[in-house]
Amino acid sequence: MGRPARESGRMMTIQQLREQLDRGEVTSRALCEAAFARIDDPAGEGARAFTELDRDGARAAADAADTQRRAGYLASPLAGIPVSIKDLFDVAGRTTRAGSVVLEGAPPAAADATIVARLRRAGAVIVGKTNMTEFAYSGLGINPHFGTPLAPYDRATGRIPGGSSSGAAVSVADGMVAAAIGTDTGGSVRIPAALCGITGFKPTAHRVPLAGAYPLSFSLDSIGPLAGSVACCALLDAILAGEVPPTLTAAAPRRLRFLAPVNYVRNDLDATVGAAFEEALAAVRSAGAVVDEAPLPALERLPALQAGPNIPAVEAYWWHRTMLAADEARYDAQIARRIKRGAAISAGEYIDLLRGRSAYIEAFAAESEGYDALLWPTVAIVPPPLAALAADDAAYARTNLLVLRNTSAVNVLDGCALSLPMPAAGSAPAGLMVVGRRDEDARLLRIGAAIEAVLAGR
């Protein structure tokens, strides 16, 4: 009676699964068992996508949803749907490892993270915790402790899934779950969404509480969903934010005006991404929207804020300094090296970074005035082979900076953004980023739904 989250290569959305549940074609328990079957498949990526499973808890939640459905009551539109959560969210009674062996002996969490509690109240079936870059501090998704789940594209070669929410993206892309919850400090939801061919949403940071989420950078951390559609992301975002789930109505493309900056975010694009982006812009224009292509000078402020010592480095070092002093040898060397950069930054330099961020936000607001949203590629490249990056520190550092470049701009400006897959048959995955200003989340999701429909109809 179980239905896979993918059928004939097509990803099933939360709405489609909910309709099957409502018609009695499947039960939540059957969806739960199907999820574990896919995770346990030795030929799949489940062993690397997940670091921990909660079989008993998931089955109990699925059975409760089935009982409630038979009684005519549902906690939310997410009730009975299998989801995953990143391994940096607290679950009561379990140790939060944040993708690291350093925390293996830490005391178990006393309570669920706020977002975990909200998912439970909504009736979600949480099947387990997903793998991630250690302490969320890289956009590549490589983890030497628990293995690295491979991107769906070209598994024979073995390519990175993007990070830091690597397992989250793979768990959705491979149909293990219908949706996943990740975090995004510099792109950690949107990067793996783009490299795995799914949809990811980074909300305005303050909308979703961070309580019970292992921190990277308290100034930039945000929590967002990865799923098969914009509507899925809108539903999950509302639940995470403690809001009433919306009925998502797509904006009318003919009433929209976009800016596609020609500077900074379009430098060094590989051919596949560049071609997909141009096709996406043409499709949006064909639907009647106005797309201006011009420089956005505010973007040129970013290298000064990110190229050297930066806000995440300072704040991550403040959090990790004691553990690093005691146990650095157990850290991923790539991650320890990045965190330790924060030790050299003075209080004055940190304040300069914060003031520079404020100036960037003001400049962006002024220069984007009059546009409904901005469009640029989520990631400049397609997923590169894992082996080359794992074996070469210089290649790792260079690729990490390039992968993070376009997404981290939105975290610094405290905006919201969607990454939408740009479909191209037989080609490597690439993401289109739709960028909105702070607190324009609901409007951005409506715009994203419109663009999603346009791209699907190409």
The CA distance from 142 to 150, in Å, is: 9
Strands 50-53 and 199-202: unpaired
Q: Which of 76, 84, 86, 171 is catalytic?
A: 86
In the residue annotation, 138 being an active-site residue is answered as: no
Q: Which of 138, 165, 171, 188 is catalytic?
A: 188
What backbone torsions phi and psi does residue 128 show, to the nearest 5 degrees? 165, -175
* CA 423 from centre of chain: 19
The single residue of 28, 84, 138, 164 carrying the catalytic annotation is 164
Task: Clarify whether 164 is annotated catalytic.
Answer: yes
Cβ-contact 116, 88 below 8 angstroms: no
Q: Is 8 a catalytic residue?
A: no
3-state secondary structure at position 410: helix
The pair phi, psi for residue 344, each rounded to 5°, is -90, 0
Backbone angles phi, psi at 89, to 5 degrees: -100, 130
How would DSSP label each residue in 54-82?
A: -HHHHHHHHHHHHHHHHTT--SSTTTT-E
List, in sequence order, every residue forming a beta bridge with 159; answer none if it has no partner.
385
Both tokens of 71, joined, read 């009684």
d(C-alpha 159, C-alpha 153), whole Å: 7
Place of tokens 């979600």: 124
**DSSP conformation class of 385:** B
DSSP codes, 204-238:
-GGGS--TTB--S-TTT--EEEEESSHHHHHHHHH
Beta strands in 101-177 (DSSP E): 125-130
Q: What pairing do the DSSP bridges indicate for beta strands 373-377 and 431-436?
A: antiparallel
Q: Which residues are catalytic?
A: 86, 164, 188
